[in-house]
Amino acid sequence: MSVLYTVRGKRLLFPIIDAAIIGASFALSCAVLDCPFPGAGLCESLARYCLPLVICLVGSCYLFQIYRIMWSYSNIHDVYRLLLACVCGYALFLLFVAVAELAWNVAFILMMFLMSTLLAVFYRVLLRDYYLRHKRNGGADASPGGIDAEKRILVIGAGEAGHTMLSEYVKKGLGRLIDGFADDDPAKIGRIMNGKLVFCDTGGANRVIRERGINEVIIAMPSVGSEKMNRIASEIRREHRSIPIKVMPHQLELDERKPLSISLRDISIADLIGREEVRVDAGVIEKKYAGKTMLITGAGGSIGSEICRQLLNYNIRKLVAVGRGEFSMYNLIRTLNDDAGFLDNPPEIAFRIADIKDYRLMDAIFSEHRPDIVFHAAAHKHVPLMEFNEAEAVQNNVQGTKNLLELSHRHGVGEFVFISTDKAVNPTSVMGATKRIAEILANYYRVKNGLATTVVRFGNVIGSRGSVIPLFMEQIEQGGPVTVTHPDVTRYFMSIPEASLLVLNAAAYSAGGELFVLDMGRQYRVAEIAQRLIEFYGYRSDDQIRIEYTGLRPGEKMHEDLFYGDESLTRTPNEKIFILAAGDDPDPGIVEPFLRDDLPGIVGRTSDEIRQIIKKIVPEFEPGPGRGGTVSNKKLVS
């Protein structure tokens, strides 16, 4: 950074004000000390002492880059720099006095130093405070990305994480949104931290929410266990069932490079069932994606949107978010704009409404943005619904994937990452079988065209659209009953942020051609999850909200698998990510006739014919129990 710089425009006011402060301090010191320089008149004193002091002090501030600082965004380090500049300025002035052999007075110099330094700091602090007040009271940049200025937030946890959270809000002009804190440390209750009162312990949170009109709660306790998290959330929800509760990821998930504000997410069942949290290799992820253009399909969905959010933190050059639903994409725009507002150098973001089945439209998007890496998360995932919409399932999950593979090959994409599911293993549903075909196609394009493809396979994510958790929550809010298909049915469960981070980490390990499987932990009985959710809402599952068993839905299995029984797993540097041993390459004699003859005419086929076509390429596909010619609409969701 050059020592010399130009001070122009409004910035000229700073050296002018500093000079005026020095003059005023000089005059006041002379008045208080009754002219401490005997024999020197006012004009002579100004010429001998005041003018050199102005030159020394303003010159020192200039050399210390004080007039480059944006005081509206200043911090304590900038104040330290100003104090050092003032000390050096006065030292330079004393050197001048000694060389010029001028008389000087210790009391006068000390008074001058204290007054001028304090005033120089004071007016800059006032300027910063005015800017922050103007910003949060409706200035042009009232909040990054349009954050709601009417929130009243209670932060539970007045430790380091809570303090950092408040500092980030204050820095962005949003400090007014945080009303105060609750903390179980008796020494903190009643104390003030950064202008915010610690009202009570966590047990008194409901009283504070009620009395102060709190409409959002942030639990800023990243190291707390699931038992305490469950207690805090259940107590709040028992009295305020609709209030949003946001939490930080577990301490192991936090990335010191990203603001805590971006890490906030809605509390979920994953925070209450005691799942082991994940570690990711942030260095490997950033090395893989930094400076790249990333295209995400299904960007409005649960996994796609979270991948978009996570990628913002790894210095990518450009993010191209592609989705079909305009409302989900609208929500994504709001979310990413909020997140980008907390980043120093956010990437360029493009949002495109498009259907992956539309080859020409997707071709135009690839031509415009030239992605380096594609994450393909778009798919129909609802198992029972796809049992009665077979043609659409094949068109979207298979034809759409083929379109993207073909375009990635044509446009020189460096890597294609396909997001798959445990339902692709020994599929009993049309949805699972179509995802298995898509896995085969990804491998086929790798072998035939040399496209670097990667498949990442995992199980259920908690809270995704159409999944069981939001259904349970809705049923609880309506007073029950909670419908579970079978008392013994089990599923893998993983939080959306957890799955998305592991997908990014797995793809970062890829050299092309791997099929990664995520360690989902143990399978949970869905009935157990329902019971915990009922308790989370402050009810009892035995008498207040009952559980009703409805039988397996079309296409469903009792238990899911992440890999075939004869496949072997290889560890990666991340203990939660495994690589399946490479199997046989796809048989062109099966794949190519399917792509050439069967796939283009799938719409004109009957349900049984489509199933026979699927079975030709996925011979292990066996329709599961529960499918007849028709089924009640209720059976599609419960």
What is the number of structural domains in the chain?
3
* Peptide bond between residue 481 and the one before it cis (omega within 30 degrees of 0): yes
Using pLDDT thresholds of 50, 70 and 90, give the confidence band for residue 132.
low
pLDDT at 278: 67
Residue 478 included in any domain: no
In this predicted structure, the answer to whether residue 471 has a pLDDT above a threshold of 60 is yes
Residue 550 included in any domain: no
The H-or-E segment that residue 508 falls in is helix 496-509
Q: Please indicate, yes or no, whether residues 413 and 326 belong to a single structural domain of this protein.
A: yes
Residue 482 included in any domain: no
d(CA 71, CA 85): 15
Using pLDDT thresholds of 50, 70 and 90, give the confidence band for residue 218.
very high
d(CA 489, CA 503): 26
Q: Please indicate, yes or no, whether residues 413 and 451 belong to a single structural domain of this protein.
A: yes
- Rg of the chain's alpha carbons, rounded to an integer? 32
Residue 217 one-letter amino acid: V
Using pLDDT thresholds of 50, 70 and 90, give the confidence band for residue 555.
low
d(CA 466, CA 427): 19
Average pLDDT of the residues in 444-448: 93
Residue 543 included in any domain: no
Strands 453-458 and 490-491: unpaired
Give the lowest-confidence range in 212-216, 291-295, 349-353, 487-491: 487-491
pLDDT tens for 326-356 read 999 999 999 898 888 777 788 999 999 999 9
Residue 22 is part of which domain span? 9-136
In this predicted structure, the answer to whether residue 557 has a pLDDT above a threshold of 70 is no
In this predicted structure, the answer to whether residue 285 has a pLDDT above a threshold of 50 is yes
Tell me which of 136, 166, 187 is where a domain ends.
136
Q: Please indicate, yes or no, whether residues 445 and 495 belong to a single structural domain of this protein.
A: yes
pLDDT at 140: 38
Q: Please indicate, yes or no, whether residues 331 and 442 belong to a single structural domain of this protein.
A: yes
Residue 160 included in any domain: yes
Q: Please indicate, yes or no, whether residues 296 and 417 belong to a single structural domain of this protein.
A: yes
pLDDT at 496: 80
Q: Please indicate, yes or no, whether residues 215 and 117 belong to a single structural domain of this protein.
A: no
Tell me which of 211, 240, 267 is where a domain ends.
267
Q: Please indicate, yes or no, whether residues 73 and 114 belong to a single structural domain of this protein.
A: yes
pLDDT at 464: 63
In this predicted structure, the answer to whether residue 423 has a pLDDT above a threshold of 80 is yes
pLDDT at 626: 40
Residue 541 included in any domain: no
- The closest of 58, 48, 47 to 22, measured between CA atoms, is 58
Q: Please indicate, yes or no, whether residues 173 and 131 belong to a single structural domain of this protein.
A: no
Q: Which of the residue ranges 113-127, 215-229, 361-375 has the most confident prediction, judged by mean pLDDT? A: 361-375
Q: Please indicate, yes or no, whether residues 131 and 162 belong to a single structural domain of this protein.
A: no
Q: What is the DSSP string of 222-279?
A: TT--HHHHHHHHHHHHHH-TTS-EEEPPPTTT--TTS-HHHH-EE--GGGTTTPPPP-
Q: Please indicate, yes or no, whether residues 34 and 55 belong to a single structural domain of this protein.
A: yes
pTM above threshold 0.85: no
Average pLDDT of the residues in 32-46: 63
Give the lowest-confidence range in 168-182, 351-365, 590-604: 168-182
Q: Please indicate, yes or no, whether residues 131 and 191 belong to a single structural domain of this protein.
A: no
Q: What is the CATH number of the domain that holds 220?
A: 3.40.50.720
Cα 437 vs. chain centroid, distance in angstroms? 32
pLDDT at 509: 92
3-state SS, one letter per residue, for 363-401 = HHHHHHHCCCEEEECCCCCCHHHHCCCHHHHHHHHHHHH
- The closest of 586, 599, 299 to 419, measured between CA atoms, is 299
Average pLDDT of the residues in 302-318: 92
Q: Could you give the percent of the chain with pLDDT greater than 90?
A: 38
pLDDT at 634: 53
Q: Which two tokens stand for residue 90?
A: 């006065």
Average pLDDT of the residues in 395-422: 95
In this predicted structure, the answer to whether residue 134 has a pLDDT above a threshold of 60 is yes
Q: Select the more confidently predicted residue: 170 or 566.
A: 170
Residue 398 included in any domain: yes
Average pLDDT of the residues in 105-126: 90
Q: Please indicate, yes or no, whether residues 153 and 287 belong to a single structural domain of this protein.
A: no
Are the beta carbons of 149 and 133 closer than 8 angstroms? Answer: no
The chain-wide mean pLDDT, for the chain, equals: 83
Average pLDDT of the residues in 285-305: 93
pLDDT at 302: 87
Using pLDDT thresholds of 50, 70 and 90, give the confidence band for residue 214.
very high
Cα 614 vs. chain centroid, distance in angstroms? 38
How many Cα atoms occupy the beta-carbon half-sphere of 318 within 13 Å? 13
Residue 473 included in any domain: no
Residue written as token pair 């959270």: 165
Give the lowest-confidence range in 278-292, 299-313, 446-460, 522-536: 522-536
Burial level of 576, CB count in 10 A (0-12/13-18/19+)? buried
pLDDT tens for 141-157 read 444 444 444 789 999 99
Using pLDDT thresholds of 50, 70 and 90, give the confidence band for residue 630.
low
Tell me which of 86, 109, 136 is where a domain ends.
136
Q: Select the more confidently predicted residue: 8 or 451.
A: 451
Cα 68 vs. chain centroid, distance in angstroms? 32
pLDDT at 542: 66
